[in-house]
Amino acid sequence: MERNGVGLILKEEYSKSVVEVKRVSDRVMIVKLEVEWVMINVISAYVPQVGCEMEEKENFWSELDEVVEGVTRNERLVFGADINGHVGEGNKGDEEVMGRYGFKKRNVEEQIVVDFAKRGEIAVVNTYFKKNEDHRVTYKSGRRCTQVDYVLCIRCNLKEIGDCKVLAGDSVAKQHRMVVCRMVLEVKKKRRRLKTERRIRWWKLKAEDCSVRFREEVRQGLGGGEEVLDD
């Protein structure tokens, strides 16, 4: 019985760009799009909560590992994930997958997230952009503030991310605040062959043999009854 749920909403203009939709489980789904000759894989994921059974957690990370391994390295991969915990502030020892601008201290559960990022060469995008607390906190309930919702991408494509922040005044679900990310694709457009007109080599008519042959072919083309004179 499914108890959870994930989803993706696309702008109408991208609906025809969808190549594949794969619902891996009630916690993971992936949509593949082709945009400007670039394949983009977008994952929506919902990590099991702290109180869930260990088997459920292990199954989740196993599924997610398989999804990431199934994406070729020449394609883009972007996550939107509720990881139900915070990776923490600072990145000592984890520089290859995190920036310095997380939130609070990392808990034991979220070390699993960092380990996953290292296995897949994935970057935790939120942590690379210096923001004030209001634009880092993704979950707020009363006085409790934390960062549990993240955007992730393949590490080598991090240079395409222009910004990532929380919209402090907007809530998309109870207590959860919207995380926005701006990504500008580096697209190598296909070269189109230029159509060129064939060049007529008039100067060759200066040669006597070419001139005679040309006049004869023109005369034949006119029916053979008229003599073609030199100008």
What local confidence, expressed as pLDDT, does residue 83 receive? Answer: 87
* Residue 106 lies inside a defined structural domain of this protein: yes
The answer to whether residue 203 scores a pLDDT higher than 70 is no
* Residue 43 lies inside a defined structural domain of this protein: yes
Q: How far apart are CA 67 and CA 31, in angstroms?
A: 11
Q: Could you give the number of structural domains in the chain?
A: 1
* Residue 34 lies inside a defined structural domain of this protein: yes
Q: What is the pTM of this model?
A: 0.76
**pLDDT tens, position by position, 52-101:** 898 999 999 999 999 999 999 899 999 999 988 788 888 888 999 999 99
What local confidence, expressed as pLDDT, does residue 90 receive? Answer: 86
* Residue 222 lies inside a defined structural domain of this protein: no
* Residue 189 lies inside a defined structural domain of this protein: no
* Residue 2 lies inside a defined structural domain of this protein: no
Structural domain boundaries enclosing 69: 12-183
The answer to whether residue 182 scores a pLDDT higher than 90 is yes
How far is CA 33 from each of CA 79, 100, 111, 124, rounded to the nearest angstrom?
14, 31, 31, 22
The CATH code of the domain that includes 179 is: 3.60.10.10
* Residue 156 lies inside a defined structural domain of this protein: yes
Q: Mean per-residue pLDDT for 191-204?
A: 63
* Residue 213 lies inside a defined structural domain of this protein: no
What local confidence, expressed as pLDDT, does residue 170 receive? Answer: 64
